Amino acid sequence: MTERKKNAFKKQFLSEGSEWTFDLLAKYDKKISELAEEFRLDTYPNQIEVISSEQMMDAYASIGMPLMYNHWSFGKQFLGTHKNYQRGTMGLAYEIVINSSPSISYLMEENTMAMQALVIAHACYGHNSFFKGNYLFQSWTDATAIIDYLLFAKQYIQTCEERHGTEQVEQLLDSCHALMNYGVNRYKRPVPLSPQQEEAQQAAREEYRQRQLNQLWDTIPKTKRPKDEKIQRFPAEQEENILYFIEKNAPLLETWQREIIRIVRKLSQYFYPQKQTQVMNEGWATFWHYTIINELYDRGYITEGMLLECMQSHTNVVYQPDFDSPHYNGINPYTLGFNMMRDIKRICQNPTEEDKEWFPNIAGSDWEKTLDYAMRNYKDESFILQFLSPKIMRDLHLFGIRDDQTKEHLKVTAIHDEQGYQELREELSAQYNLGNNEPNIQVYNVNVRGDRSLTLRHYMHDKRPLNKEPTEEMLKHIHSMWGFPVKLESIDDQVVIQCWECPDKTTEEILGKAS
Amino acid sequence: MTHIIDRRLNGKNKSTVNRQRFLDRYKKHIKEAVNQTIKQRSIQDMEQGTEISLPSRDVSEPTFHHGPGGVNTRVHPGNKEFHQGDQIARPPSGGSGGGSGDGQASNQGEGMDDFVFQISQEEFLDYMFEDLELPNLVRKQLKDATNFEYHRAGFTSSGTPDKLNVVRSLRNAHARRIALGGKKRKRVKEILDQLVDLEEEQSESQQDNTNEVIRAALIQELEELRHRLGKLPFIDDFDLRYHNLIKVPLPSTRAVMFCVMDVSGSMTQAIKDIAKRFFILLFLFLKRNYKQIDVVFIRHHTTAQEVDEETFFYSRETGGTIVSSALELTAEVIEQKYNPSDWNIYVAQASDGDNWDDDSIKCAKLLMEKIMPQVQYFAYVEIGSRFHQNLWEEYKQVAVAYPDLFAMQDLTDAADIYPVFRELFERKEA
């Protein structure tokens, strides 16, 4: 912490008690926004909504969105949250913030004034500026349109339920949800969603889709087929976005079903950046609530008691249990993110010899600019690879463990020492690479002229196989959408290791038949 | 610019639909869980909601996952004694130690823990009593109805002022005024048009006496018409409309439940406990069907007594067994207090089957003659694992005589209560 400039400002507390009122909220928000402006945080306009804990649980249940179509899985989520909350095994988050413009933040009515201030700094200025600034959010989501799109989706699905029956729609949604992680384009940049056009274009899209399908599945024999026609795979290039592929090419789906698949796909794409920037996003917001609250105190706007309350809660948030603690549940993204953000500031302000060697570009630079740059241009994976300093690794006592099923023992690959820094950093970065964590599965081929079967390929990473039961379930879901046999092959080094097929067949049967 | 909005007054039950969909989807599972719970729970807290626990495998939503196997490298915090290249024994699977962690798996409910959630009392009882119904309700509802309720049914032209329907009445008045004044109003319009024409003519051709005369006549007629129109009454007697009420026979919503129990020496506390559970289950079930329920507790050994609940279940007074005494008392109480045309009468009798030998015949006779014609349903449960005695045999004959109204079952232990109860009240195909 920087030196307290206690005497520089006269004390003029905004409030003293712990109760909040709407007037006070506005007053605090104004002060915090002034500070945020000084720190050059660029945000969407804010919309702060005060809600009760029941409403917070409702919000939890619909992935935090203010409106969402109906589905039993959200009900399940709600029941689970409700239960845990009643039992006291789980506290509710202090806030939820939505990547929209205006950015909507929910504050819980139970919070004290100090907590509300902390949350405003964290959500309304921290997360908000991240949503607006980070390149992933900028290029993959359209904050101004999401709420309208959700409304469109909700209404569309409701109409479908009325027209085709809740059960049918539910089954389709089940399948779509199962494939949600495979409904995103990882590399291709999509056109941002635009709901007004969305509705207008929908009819046109239906017709176009059908025409395209007719071409693909055309069964009228061609009078003259060139003899040298090579048997080509379809799609010619593998498709990573399975939902997209099904939406466009599944032979038997009705247009409304394609539209629903599209809705789920679009939502998945909307959430994709959040999954990729968890450490950065939380780190950034935590860094700013920490900085702003301290600044408020230094300027005499909040009392010492309030500062202590905020700091206590802050400490809880960034608590990282050790790997051997019973509370350990992986690396806490708040801790890692916050420490890294603060470390970047330190490197800029007081670089050591080590820092100068590791970060020649940023050591001694303007910290606000450097942080801003980092926030805008990285995602977790690249952020860690670029900015994780030896000091952080030492502070957190990081170490890497390799679990190779073929070996008897686990191996410590690297620890926080001179030889280990580089490797440790790469390992941690890879841990945040979604491509490594989620099995890499792509659409490989469709037997267009034969049994219309769909073949997916799983490209194994580090020889890691798929989990048996869920995979079987997944194939059933894909099969129900595709309508014809679905195959899945796990490939390692161009060799098929394992096969699944729906309707059921074992690996042996499939391979036996092939040979 | 920041907007601060108070949303607390907005509905908080946004998740109701989704919650209901979840419950519907897993109805079968939940019902099974409810049945399990009933077996385990003491009867007292039957009336509360319950925790339902479903195997998380059943409710999980699949995604593609990595299974065990292959090479998995992960970074962990809090190193204390490890050095690069150390070999560590693999911790037991699922442990929190370093290495085994498939860190991303758990949030999808793939763990071994059950998915646990709460349902309300109402829902609990719904599941519990689903597919059950009170037998012979139809007869009671239609034939013996003595209570009536008034229902609105259209409108009449006569009635008391408190039943007046203002909108209808005014609408009629309005229609009448239009109908009666129509001709005159048409004439008024004509006159007005003519007057306008006259005025125009007048401005064209200068002074003209004939026009002036016509004009005066028209104006006079106009005034007369207007006067007549003004005399049309705003509202008249025959405009008035009243709500029409009709008498609808109302099925009796009152029920009385007789709990008859043997407290003779052969009834142990355990048997009494089973009986009590059975009675309470029946009580809960009746409560869902009737607004008002009286419960009459009759216990007997050689003589019968009407007692309060506490004494009924816990008094230790005991003696020999004469079942007919209780049945006699029951018949008496019905006669005194519970007129069968006003009350739905249910009798549940619990006993271990012991009876004074000659008495069983008397019991059967009492039932056939006095009790069965009065009641909606008579359920007899025999508790205890011993072979049946002559009371059972006698009762069998009653069951033959009143197949719809009389039911008998035997119970051996607490776990049977609910199944037996279900059997007694299973919805029968019509």
Instruction: Report whether pLDDT(B100) > 80.
Output: no
Instruction: Report whether pLDDT(A453) > 60.
Output: yes
- Residue contact B89–A405, C-beta within 8 A: no
Find, in chain A, the residue whose alpha carbon is nearest to that of B119.
A79
Count of A-B CB contacts under 8 Å: 282
- Residue contact A466–B101, C-beta within 8 A: no
**Would you state the pLDDT for residue B109?**
36
Instruction: Report whether pLDDT(A393) > 80.
Output: yes
Q: Which residues on B lie below 8 Å from A477 (Cβ)?
A: 62
Q: Which residues on B lie below 8 Å from A465 (Cβ)?
A: 66-70
Q: Which residues on A lie below 8 Å from B92 (Cβ)?
A: none
State percent of chain A over pLDDT 90: 54
Give the pLDDT band (50/70/90) at residue B107: very low
- Which 73-132 residues of chain A touch chain B by CB within 8 A? 73-76, 78-80, 82-83, 86, 102, 106, 109, 124
* Segment A157-190, tens digit of pLDDT: 999 999 999 999 999 999 999 999 999 887 665 5
Which residues of chain A are in CATH 3.40.1350 domains? 439-514
User: Is A58 within 8 Å of B4 (Cβ atoms)?
Assistant: no
Q: Which residues on A lie below 8 Å from B58 (Cβ)?
A: none
Instruction: Report whether pLDDT(B111) > 50.
Output: no
Angle at A435 between CA A432 and CA A438, to 5 degrees: 95
Q: How far is CA B45 from CA B37, B128, B284, B364, B416, in A?
A: 11, 13, 12, 36, 18
Residue A330 in contact with partner chain B when CB distance is under 8 A? yes
- Residue contact A410–B96, C-beta within 8 A: no
- Which 134-153 residues of chain A touch chain B by CB within 8 A? none
Is the torsion defined by CA of A59, A62, A64, A68 positive or negative? negative
Q: Which residues on B lie below 8 Å from A413 (Cβ)?
A: 73, 84
**Would you state the pLDDT for residue B94?**
45
Give the dihedral of Cα atoms A158, A159, A160, A161; nearest 10 deg: 50
Angle at A70 between CA A109 and CA B119, to 5 degrees: 65
Question: Nearest-CA distance from A393 to chain B in Å?
Answer: 9
**Would you state the pLDDT for residue A308?**
94
State percent of chain A over pLDDT 70: 89
Angle at A461 between CA A459 and CA A467, to 5 degrees: 80
- Residue contact B77–A396, C-beta within 8 A: yes
Q: Tokens 């939890």: give the residue.
A: A60
* Segment B379-399, tens digit of pLDDT: 888 887 667 778 888 888 888
Find, in chain A, the residue whose alpha carbon is nearest to that of B110.
A470
**Would you state the pLDDT for residue A421?**
93
The length of chain B in residues reads 430
Mean pLDDT of the A481-492 span: 91
Q: SS3 sequence, A325-348?
A: CCCCCCCCHHHHHHHHHHHHHHHH
Question: Nearest-CA distance from A306 to chain B in Å?
Answer: 22
Partner-chain residue, chosen from B4, B62, B80, that has the shortest CB–CB distance to A178:
B62
* B224-261: burial string, b at 16+ Cβ within 10 Å, e else: ebeeeeeeeeeeeeebbbbbbeeeeeebbebbbbbbbb
Question: Nearest-CA distance from B37 to chain A in Å?
Answer: 18
DSSP string for B39-75: HHS-GGGGGS-EEEEE-HHHH------B-S-SEEEEE
Q: Tokens 């009448």: give the residue.
A: B176
Q: What is the DSSP letter of A454?
A: E
Mean pLDDT, chain A, rounded, equals 86
A102 prior amide bond cis, ω within 30? yes
Give the pLDDT band (50/70/90) at residue A290: very high
Mean pLDDT, chain B, rounded, equals 79
Indicate the pTM of the whole model.
Answer: 0.73
User: Is B383 within 8 Å of B275 (Cβ atoms)?
Assistant: yes
Question: Nearest-CA distance from A510 to chain B in Å?
Answer: 21
**Would you state the pLDDT for residue B128?**
76
Helices A380-387 and A421-431 pack at an angle, to 10 degrees, of 170
Q: Which CATH class is domain A439-514?
A: alpha beta
Question: Nearest-CA distance from B53 to chain A in Å?
Answer: 11
Q: Which residue has the higher pLDDT, B281 or B220?
A: B220
Q: Which residues on A lie below 8 Å from B104 (Cβ)?
A: 437
- Which 155-194 residues of chain A touch chain B by CB within 8 A? 166, 170, 174, 177-178, 180-182
Three-state DSSP at A15 gives: coil
How would you class B101 by CB atoms within 10 Å of its CB: exposed for 0-12, middle for 13-18, buried for 19 or more?
Answer: buried
Q: SS3 sequence, A342-382?
A: HHHHHHHHCCCHHHHHHCCCCCCCCHHHHHHHHHHHCCHHH
Instruction: Report whether pLDDT(A2) > 60.
Output: no
Q: How far is CA A64 from CA A77, A99, A192, B156, in A?
A: 11, 10, 21, 56
CB atoms within 10 A of CB A437: 18
The pair of three-digit structure tokens given for residue A340, joined into one six-digit string = 């890294």
* Segment B362-385, tens digit of pLDDT: 888 888 888 888 888 888 888 876
Alpha-carbon span A503 to B299, nearest angstrom: 64
**Would you state the pLDDT for residue B142?**
44
Q: Tokens 């490197």: give the residue.
A: A347
Residue A5 in contact with partner chain B when CB distance is under 8 A? no
Which residue blocks in A143-194 are alpha helix, DSSP H?
Answer: 146-164, 166-178
Residue A410 in contact with partner chain B when CB distance is under 8 A? yes
Question: Nearest-CA distance from B129 to chain A in Å?
Answer: 23
Identify the H or E element spanning B255: strand B254-262
Amino acid of residue A273: P
Q: Which residues on A lie below 8 Å from B110 (Cβ)?
A: 470
Mean pLDDT of the B72-97 span: 79
Mean pLDDT of the A225-250 span: 78
Mean pLDDT of the B194-209 span: 75
Partner-chain residue, chosen from A33, A182, A460, that has the shortest CB–CB distance to B2:
A33
Q: Report the relative pairing of strands B115-119 and B87-89 from DSSP bridges.
A: unpaired
A116: CB partners within 8 A, 6+ apart: A20, A25, A28, A107
The pair of three-digit structure tokens given for residue B208, joined into one six-digit string = 């003209």
Alpha-carbon span A50 to A119, nearest angstrom: 12
* Segment B258-273, tens digit of pLDDT: 888 888 877 777 788 7
Mean pLDDT of the A334-357 span: 94
**Would you state the pLDDT for residue B351?**
85
Mean pLDDT of the B49-72 span: 83
Partner-chain residue, chosen from A70, A177, A437, that has the shortest CB–CB distance to B61:
A177
State percent of chain B over pLDDT 70: 85
User: Is B252 within 8 Å of B145 (Cβ atoms)?
Assistant: yes
User: Is A248 within 8 Å of A209 (Cβ atoms)?
Assistant: yes
Instruction: Report whether pLDDT(A13) > 90.
Output: no
Instruction: Report whether pLDDT(B198) > 90.
Output: no
Alpha-carbon span A470 to B97, nearest angstrom: 25
Mean pLDDT of the A60-89 span: 84
Q: Which residues on A lie below 8 Å from B3 (Cβ)?
A: 45-48, 102
> Of A250-264, A409-423, A429-443, A498-512, where does mean pLDDT reach its minimum?
A498-512
Instruction: Report whether pLDDT(A313) > 50.
Output: yes
Give the dihedral of Cα atoms A279, A282, A286, A289; nearest 10 deg: 150
Q: Which candidate in A48, A412, A459 is best for mutational testing of the B interface (most B CBs within 10 A)?
A: A412
Question: Nearest-CA distance from A386 to chain B in Å?
Answer: 17
Give the pLDDT band (50/70/90) at residue B208: low
